[in-house]
Structure 1
Amino acid sequence: MRKVLITGGFGFLGGRIADHLGNQGFEVSLGSRTSKLVPSGFNNCKSVITNWDDTNQLRDVCSDQDVIIHTAGMSAEDCAKDPIASFEFNCIGTMKLLKACKSNERKKFIYLSTAHVYGSPLVGKLSEDSIPRNNHPYATSHLAGEFGVNYANAKGDTEGYNLRVSNGFGAPILEDVNCWKLFVNDLCKQAITKRELTIHSNEQQQRDFIPIRNITKTIEMIINQKNPLNHNTFNLGSGSSFTLFEMAKIIQSRTNHLFHFSPAIITNPNVKNFNGNFLEYNVDRLKSFHLLDNVNLEGELDSLLLYCQNHFGKSTI
């Protein structure tokens, strides 16, 4: 049984990855800064403390792991509030973890970066060869973390991969995870609690939305690769773009399918809409290695809407 450490294992993305890998038979350690109990619903999972200020402790935690999946990091909002802290954690923290992973047996290291290294908002045709142009601390600190992975990879310390994740969405595993500022998650919760879908941003802005189940499956497929891949940086998205209004229409349709009512779509009249913000988030590199499953937006949306109904809904629906 292969052993996997997931930093930020009790977070939104980390929790979903842990749940998926545990169900696939991996022995999963959920890393956290504080001691936490693993909920009963997790299979093959245990909790471990990751002390980012103690190099020896990090080395001990990593010593018997085969794979490290690094999802821990500061949010975009927190990075903007404290740019110095963003680099201390997203960059230096990643470097500390990479150093802790160094051993005689080369470990796989999967770093969850962000598509927003390219810009904000994301526009145009974006491949892994596109030049990152976003100066926001959230983007630059993640890009610096990627450089750390590249350096460790070049030295042969780890078999490292950077995954530049686009706009992921889906139901959380843990109820106390705050994932409701994500656009799709927010709209699905609105559909149940308010019976409306209010779009606060430019409704014509395009985004690449990817179900969390595709992210978790892609990570599993990378882990299962016997030989190192020829590339170590990948765009991880669906490869299809929708405007915010188009995604709201899909959520409206799935709400009607599940609950037999159609929440009204409300746009912000104070936001100036514009055309020409075409987005093509290129995922051909992942596809060339057969590392991206078929994307099922509706399946993930249905699961998310049912989660919202079970946790926030009223019995009248």
Structure 2
Amino acid sequence: MHVLLVGGSGFLGGRITRAFLAQPGIRVRILTPTEPRASWKEPPGVEIFHADVRDPESVRGSCDGITHVIYLAGLNQVACEARPVEAVAVSGLGALHLAEEAARAAVQRFVYISSFHVYGSVEAELLTEELAVQPRNHYGLSRRVGEMYCSLVAERRGLSVVILRLSNGYGAPADEQADCWSLVVNDLCRQAIRDGRLVLKSSGRQQRDFLAMRDILAGMQLFLKVPAASLGQRVFNLGSGVSVSVLEVAERIRATFADLFGKELPLQVGIDPTEGRPVYFDIKRARALGFEPRGDMAEEFRELFSACG
């Protein structure tokens, strides 16, 4: 298997690269901008292809000799709100350019990494893939555009496309400078180490589906290998299937911190008059193909503590 990671110099790309390189029989090529972030170090044993995904000519040849593509490129939520045109260009048009290139190179599978944010303002407690999506921020909208372009190429060119809508991911980065510290769990773990306390901006009663890094990696590998004839669908939710309050996550972080360091973390809870409703992430489709989340929160917390130390 020869995998192209588009946006492989980012948070998720760094962990995928490390996981894939540890397995025999998997070669990795990373597509990254000509000028990636200064702290990024080129991993040993990988091929590097410098390109701007917004430019179709720039990505020409990036998929030559590649069997599988994972498209990770995109701005984070804050950057999407500040630069919405760029957000759509990277997550949307960039996906179109790479999917077209993958189809030209006869790639076996193209996996597009999307987000639960595409569901937006859907009025449902159970988020299933059949729901009509209603993105309510630029991040969700940019990912939805990417989904649509990938589906278009799949239908026109016969490319085998899988779209994975991730819930709230968390886990230690391969590089501490990776753009991952705005994620709720990651932020709380960094607060624990750097500030010696936890501060929630809200009441923490809002419930979310949290997906451990180990489960994200397992899901990626599963959907690279599932035969096209067995997929049945193109879009899959990838989550834990369990709804947990942010306050409960904070308490679990406090417990893990106390076990590890023998200290109690003060917890400051805010007030949020619009707490919202509990939302459950339906992962039946992914489970039917063999995905089973097994992430250990405490273990992920310990790795995050170490990454912040």
Scaled by the length of structure 2, the TM-score of the pair is 0.91
Residue-by-residue CA offset, 1:141-176 (whole Å, 9 max, x unaligned): 211111111122223431111111111011110132
Q: Secondary structure at the match of 1:48?
A: strand
Aligned-partner SS, 1:187? helix
Seen in structure 2, the aligned counterparts of structure 1 residues 88 and 307 have a Cα distance that, compared at 3 Å, is closer
Contact 2:65-2:105 at 8 Å conserved across structures: no
C-alpha distance after superposition, 1:50-70 (max 9, x if no partner): 233543441311111111100
Q: Which residue of 2 aligns with 1:313?
A: none
Give how far 1:298 is off: 2.1
Identify the residue that residue 138 of structure 1 maps to in structure 2: 139
Change in CA separation of 1:122 and 1:5 when aligned onto 2, cut-off 3 Å: farther
Amino acid at match of 1:248: A
Q: 1:267 to 1:43 in 2, by over 3 A?
A: same
CA distance in 2, matches of 1:122, 1:200: 24
Matches of 1:120 and 1:183, distance apart in 2: 20
Q: Root-mean-square deviation (CA), in Å? A: 2.2
Quote how far apart the aligned CAs of 1:102 are: 1.6
Q: Secondary structure at 2:131's aligned position in 1? A: coil
Is the Cα–Cα contact under 8 Å of residues 38 and 46 in structure 1 kept in the other structure? no
Q: Does 1:107 align with 2:108?
A: yes
The match for 2:34 is 34
Q: Please list, as runs of the form range in 1=range in 2, the aligned pairs for 1:48-197 lying within 5 A after superposition.
A: 48-103=49-104, 105-119=106-120, 124-197=125-198
The separation in 1 between residues aligned to 2:281 and 2:119, in whole angstroms, is 10
SS of residue paired to 1:263: coil
Give the equivalent residue in structure 2 for 1:249: 251
SS where residue 175 of structure 1 aligns? coil
Letter of the structure 2 residue corresponding to residue 307 of structure 1: A
Whole-angstrom distance in 1 between the partners of 2:55 and 2:133? 32
Matched residue, 1:238: 240
Residue by residue over 1:66-113, the C-alpha shift from the partner in whole angstroms, topping out at 9 and shown as x without a partner, is 111000112222221232222222211111111111236343111110
C-alpha contact 2:69 2:107 (8 A) present in aligned 1? no
DSSP 3-state at the match of 2:163 = strand
In structure 2, runs of 5+ residues without a counterpart are none
Q: How big is each residue's C-alpha offset from its partner over 1:5-24, in whole Å with a ceiling of 9 and x where there is no partner?
A: 11111100111111111112
Aligned partner of 2:8 in structure 1 is: 9
> TM-score, normalization: structure 1?
0.89
Give the distance between the partners of 1:259 and 1:121, measured in 2 at CA. Answer: 42
SS of match in other structure, 1:238 = coil
User: 1:253-305: CA deviations, max 9, x gaps?
Assistant: 11111111121111124x3264x611111111100110234232222122112
User: Structure 2: how far apart are the matches of 1:220 and 1:292?
Assistant: 12
Identity %: 28
CA contact (8 A) 2:29 2:48 kept: yes
Q: Supply the distance in 2 between the matched residues of 1:10 and 1:122 (Cα, whole angstroms).
A: 36
Deviates most, 218-227 or 89-98: 218-227
Distance in 2 (CA, whole Å) between partners of 1:104 and 1:277 is: 45
